[in-house]
């Protein structure tokens, strides 16, 4: 453990921290996963459930990570060791493993978004979007774009907390918000937009009886809010005690939900205005990389511009999320082994780049990695985090969260921690049970097929 509080890097501004945390949260999950899951899970019924999960699990768990990180002043392994004792350091290793694995396949998807953006400039979208996606999603090109995206991510993380992560977030996040809102306004002008909104916003309440939809909503909340693998914990370890943590967690969670919701207001009208709904359910990536590009293609010149903006936004969101994933692993190497930031970022980035070649060569492998790391490990990590912060070191976490909070938010801390202690563990444990079952089934079909 080389770093001490005195020499530790820190965010320069309060807004910088909030934008970096929001940058971690807002990403491919908001567009790639959210729209797909909403279309599968009964539209607004899923959206409603998702809001409940964000309030009930998301905000309390984010607050737990913020409290643990700022208290511990180290990356996850060190912070958990410092607060919970050596046994809890193991959870930190699980976080690092999850970060490695998620970034490995996340970067492949991010590579696709960059490719589509470049194609929009060079020659527009392909008329046979399904075949095109099949041809470029895996193989040499996918590997090349994955490597390119990883290099970008590494460069920013090498720049440090203030000069790299905070600066990138301050520039990229406002740009992302503006484009997303602009595209949603444009989508209102489409013929058939009404039908898209109706499907999106009319709840199919029957779906609420389906436990799979509940599990999906909870798992989506963890993934989308970057919870369960120490990303928020790591960012909070770069804070001093003047940040209002409960307020920050609430702002970040609502920003993340807001972007996911508005993204749905883009995706659904575009798809329904061209009657492409059939292409959505085909695969988890169907909506984003097949249905939308064919819609953009059918719209001619305007579609090319809008499509370019759309994929640039996705790439930007992916980049600010990837930074946080790499930072968890990098900061752990810095704190545990005493490597310099540059060496740690390049070494861990290289390992992740190599690991990412597997999902870049097979979309089935990508899907399996998403199930294992993007779902199972996050749910398990969230459960352990709730137990640690809610029970094992509760009083320390509570004191940490109240420090720096305004009187209003300080009064909310015991309430939110009450939810973390009593509501979160049984719900997350139930979700974990179903996730384990799903992951076993996914394994079986992966090796059977």
Q: State the binding string over 80-109 for ligand PHE (x if CB under 6 A, else -).
A: ----------------------x-------
Instruction: Tell me, by CB under 6 A, how many residues bind ligand PHE.
Output: 15
Q: At what angle do helices 167-187 and 14-25 cross, to 10 degrees?
A: 60
Q: State the binding string over 21-40 for ligand PHE (x if CB under 6 A, else -).
A: ---xx-xxxx----------
Q: CA quadruple 299, 300, 306, 310: dihedral positive or negative?
A: positive
Rounded to the nearest whole angstrom, what is the least distance from the CB of residue 172 to ligand PHE in the complex? 14
Would you say 169 and 16 are in contact if contact means Cβ atoms under 8 Å apart?
A: yes
Binding segment (CB under 6 A) for ligand PHE, from list 209-217, 223-231, 242-250, 435-443: 223-231
Distances in whole angstroms, Cα of residue 316 to Cα of each of 110, 210, 436: 9, 34, 32
**Looking at the DSSP assignment, which residues form a beta bridge with residue 296?**
none
Task: Tell whether residue 315 is a contact of ligand PHE (CB under 6 A).
Answer: no
Q: Dihedral through CA 154, CA 159, CA 161, CA 162, nearest 10?
A: -150
Of 24 and 248, nearer to ligand PHE (C-beta) is 24
Rounded to the nearest whole angstrom, what is the least distance from the CB of residue 378 to ligand PHE in the complex? 7
State the SS3 of 159-175: CCHHHHHHHHHHHHHHH
Rounded to the nearest whole angstrom, what is the least distance from the CB of residue 260 to ligand PHE in the complex? 8
Task: Say how far apart CA 142 and CA 113 lie, in whole Å.
Answer: 11
Question: Which one among 36, 46, 125, 223 touches ligand PHE, defined by CB under 6 A?
Answer: 223
Task: Say how far apart CA 261 and CA 253 lie, in whole Å.
Answer: 12
User: Residue 24's CB: how many other CB atoms inside 10 A?
Assistant: 27
Rounded to the nearest whole angstrom, what is the least distance from the CB of residue 377 to ligand PHE in the complex? 10
Question: Which one among 325, 379, 382, 389 touches ligand PHE, defined by CB under 6 A?
Answer: 325
Q: State the binding string over 180-219 for ligand PHE (x if CB under 6 A, else -).
A: ----------------------------------------
Rounded to the nearest whole angstrom, what is the least distance from the CB of residue 103 to ligand PHE in the complex? 8
Contacts 24+ apart (CB under 8 A), 287-291: 287/32, 287/35, 287/36, 287/39, 288/31, 288/32, 288/35, 288/36, 288/314, 289/112, 289/116, 289/129, 289/133, 289/137, 290/129, 290/130, 290/133, 291/129
Rounded to the nearest whole angstrom, what is the least distance from the CB of residue 106 to ligand PHE in the complex? 7
For residue 98, give every residue at least 6 positions away whose Cβ sits within 8 Å of its Cβ, in sequence order, or none: 228, 229, 373, 377, 378, 381
Task: Tell whether residue 176 is a contact of ligand PHE (CB under 6 A).
Answer: no
Rounded to the nearest whole angstrom, what is the least distance from the CB of residue 34 to ligand PHE in the complex? 8
**Tokens 């990536």, located at residue:** 285
**Looking at the DSSP assignment, which residues form a beta bridge with residue 43?**
203
Q: Dihedral through CA 265, CA 105, CA 285, CA 298, nearest 10?
A: 80
Question: Which one among 107, 126, 224, 330 touches ligand PHE, defined by CB under 6 A?
Answer: 224
Q: State the binding string over 102-141 for ligand PHE (x if CB under 6 A, else -).
A: x---------------------------------------
Of 145 and 223, nearer to ligand PHE (C-beta) is 223
Task: Tell whether residue 229 is a contact of ligand PHE (CB under 6 A).
Answer: yes
Residues that bind ligand PHE (CB under 6 A): 24-25, 27-30, 102, 223-224, 226, 229, 231, 321, 324-325
């Amino acid at each position: 453990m080389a770093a001490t509080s005195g020499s530790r890097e820190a965010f320069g501004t309060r807004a910088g921290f909030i934008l970096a945390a929001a940058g971690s949260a807002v990403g491919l999950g908001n567009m790639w996963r959210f729209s797909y899951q909403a279309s599968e899970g009964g539209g607004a019924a899923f959206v409603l459930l998702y809001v409940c999960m964000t309030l009930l699990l998301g905000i309390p768990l984010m607050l737990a990570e913020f409290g643990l990180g700022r208290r511990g002043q180290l990356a996850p392994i060190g912070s958990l060791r410092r607060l919970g004792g050596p046994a809890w350091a193991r959870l930190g290793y699980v976080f690092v493993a999850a970060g490695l694995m998620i970034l490995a396949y996340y970067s492949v998807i991010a590579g696709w978004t960059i490719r589509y953006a470049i194609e929009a400039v060079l020659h527009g979208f392909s008329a046979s979007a399904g075949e095109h996606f099949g041809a470029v999603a895996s193989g040499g090109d996918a590997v090349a774009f994955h490597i390119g995206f990883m290099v970008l991510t590494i460069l920013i993380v090498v720049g440090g907390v203030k000069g790299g992560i905070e600066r990138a977030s301050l520039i990229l996040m406002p740009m992302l918000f503006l484009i997303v809102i602009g595209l949603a306004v444009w989508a209102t002008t489409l013929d058939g937009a009404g039908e898209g909104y109706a499907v999106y916003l009319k709840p199919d309440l029957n779906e609420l009886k389906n436990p799979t939809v509940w599990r999906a909503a909870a798992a989506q909340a963890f993934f989308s809010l970057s919870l369960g693998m120490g990303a928020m914990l790591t960012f909070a370890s770069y804070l001093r005690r003047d940040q209002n943590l409960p307020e920050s967690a609430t702002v970040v969670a609502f920003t993340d939900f807001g972007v996911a919701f508005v993204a749905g207001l883009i995706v659904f009208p575009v798809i329904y205005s061209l009657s492409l709904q059939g292409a959505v359910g085909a695969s988890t990536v169907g909506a984003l990389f097949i249905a939308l590009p064919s819609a953009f293609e059918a719209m001619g010149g305007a579609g090319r511009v809008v499509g370019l903006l759309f994929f640039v936004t996705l790439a930007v969101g992916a980049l600010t999320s990837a930074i946080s994933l790499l930072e968890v692993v990098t900061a752990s190497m810095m704190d545990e082994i005493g490597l310099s930031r540059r060496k740690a970022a390049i070494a861990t980035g290289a390992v992740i780049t190599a690991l990412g070649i597997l999902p870049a060569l097979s979309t089935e492998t990508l899907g399996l990695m998403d199930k294992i790391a993007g779902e199972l490990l996050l749910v398990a990590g969230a459960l352990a985090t709730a137990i640690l912060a809610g029970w094992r070191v509760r009083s320390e976490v509570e004191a940490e969260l109240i420090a720096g909070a305004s009187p209003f938010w300080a009064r909310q801390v015991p309430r939110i921690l009450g939810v973390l202690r009593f509501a979160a563990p049984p719900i997350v444990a139930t979700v974990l049970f179903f996730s384990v079952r799903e992951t076993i089934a996914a394994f079986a079909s992966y090796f059977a097929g």
